Amino acid sequence: MTKRVFKFCFALLAGALFAGCTEPQAQEVPQTKELIVIESQNLKCNDSVLVFTPVQYAANNTQTLPTLFLLHGWSGCYKDWSNKHDIQEISNRTGFRIICPDGFYNGWYLNNTDTTKMQWRAFFDQELFPQMKQKYNMVPDSTFITGLSMGGHGAVNLFLDHPENFRAAGSMSGVLDLNLTSLRDTELAKVIGEKKERIAQESAVTRVAEKAEQLKAMNKPIITTCGYNDVYVKCTDVFSAKCRELDVPHIKILSPGKHSWPYWGFALEQHLWHFQKILNGDNLGY
């Protein structure tokens, strides 16, 4: 009897040892990043869009979730944000679906004055936004938009086009007054020309006045953040002053930082924190 017990115990121990030495089975991680290519009539070319869905919703990635359109800056592309920061991890942690379209090297998220060239605002309104809304069951109360630099201006401008499509908008180091960018007479001029009147007309700091009453009535806030040492901090100051003058719901945050990826990674977390507060109906101090 003792021998049988010994043999049985030895067999269990051996099994446990061999089990510990075997190669562990690799666990398959759900792929929640999608690359969507949109053939666009308005752009006269294709647009590549990266979509990051929280991993916990991978099995049902058409479920309605808080959604953030995240725009890149000048000279960048749709991969900029995910190349510099772990957007999938941020999506998983915050529960936001994050959509990163291509605004192209010098697109400015505007319609080119030459109608044979890129019409980015028309692309967003007529193609990108409707397709994302249909595919991911987006609803305005949980849809947000923000971006950096050129994309900061683009995000606010697209929000001002159709505030009814969004809950709130943001800008990080945004070129919110196009007359204040050093690219005005060179790269920007290739898109909307050199006339100061046209540049002012296209600027978010001018356009916010057109939507002021609607934004107040709908209580749709704009979050603007910038580093003290950023070349475009004046744009944020000027835009903020205009919002205060018009009594437009608006939060401005200045902190140490430059026109750089370390700052934008920090600023993105600030924006998502505020957007989550807005979603929850939490106190924002006003």
195 three-state secondary structure: coil
Of residues 226, 249, 229, the one with CA closest to residue 238: 226
Nearest to 96 by CA among 273, 282, 281: 273
- Taking the C-alpha atoms of residue 280 and residue 120, their distance in angstroms, rounded to an integer, is 32
Q: Is-contact 149 232, C-beta < 8 A?
A: yes
Distance between alpha carbon 144 and the CA centroid of its chain, in Å?
Answer: 8
| CATH assignment of the domain containing 75 | 3.40.50.1820
- Within a domain: residue 7? no
Task: List, for residues 25-44, the tens digit of each pLDDT value.
Answer: 545 434 589 999 999 999 99
Into how many domains does the chain fold? 1
Cα separation of 27 and 8, whole Å? 32
At 83, list the tokens.
Answer: 């190349």
Please state, in angstroms and rounded to a whole number, the distance separating the CA atoms of residues 45 and 104.
11
| Alpha-carbon distances of 194 from 23, 24, 102, 120, rounded to whole Å | 65, 63, 25, 19
| DSSP, res 119 | B
Report the pLDDT averaged over residues 70-84.
98
Contact call for residues 94 and 276 (beta carbons, < 8 A): yes
* pLDDT classification of 59: cutoffs 50, 70, 90: low
* Both tokens assigned to 249: 């719901």
Nearest to 284 by CA among 236, 246, 250, 248: 250
- Residue 21 reports pLDDT greater than 70: no
- Determine, yes or no, domain membership for 262: yes
pLDDT score of 42: 98
Q: With respect to residue 14, please indicate whether it lies within any of the assigned structural domains.
A: no
Query: Is this prediction's pTM over 0.95?
Result: no
| pLDDT tens per residue across span 201-238 | 999 999 999 999 999 999 999 999 999 999 999 999 99
Radius of gyration over alpha carbons of the chain, in Å? 24
DSSP-derived 3-state class of residue 50: strand
Residue 234, in any domain of the structure: yes
Domain span at residue 136 reads: 30-280
The SS3 call for residue 22 is coil
How many Cβ atoms are within 10 Å of 91's Cβ, its own excluded?
24
Strands 143-147, 250-255: pairing kind: unpaired
- 208 domain residue, yes or no: yes
| Residue 12 within a domain | no
Look up residue 52 and give its DSSP letter.
E
What are the structure tokens assigned to 58, written together?
A: 């991978």
What six digits make up the tokens of 194? 């050199």
Q: Is residue 45 domain-resident?
A: yes
Helix then strand then coil, % of the chain, to nearest 5 = 45, 15, 35
216 versus 18: the higher-pLDDT residue is 216
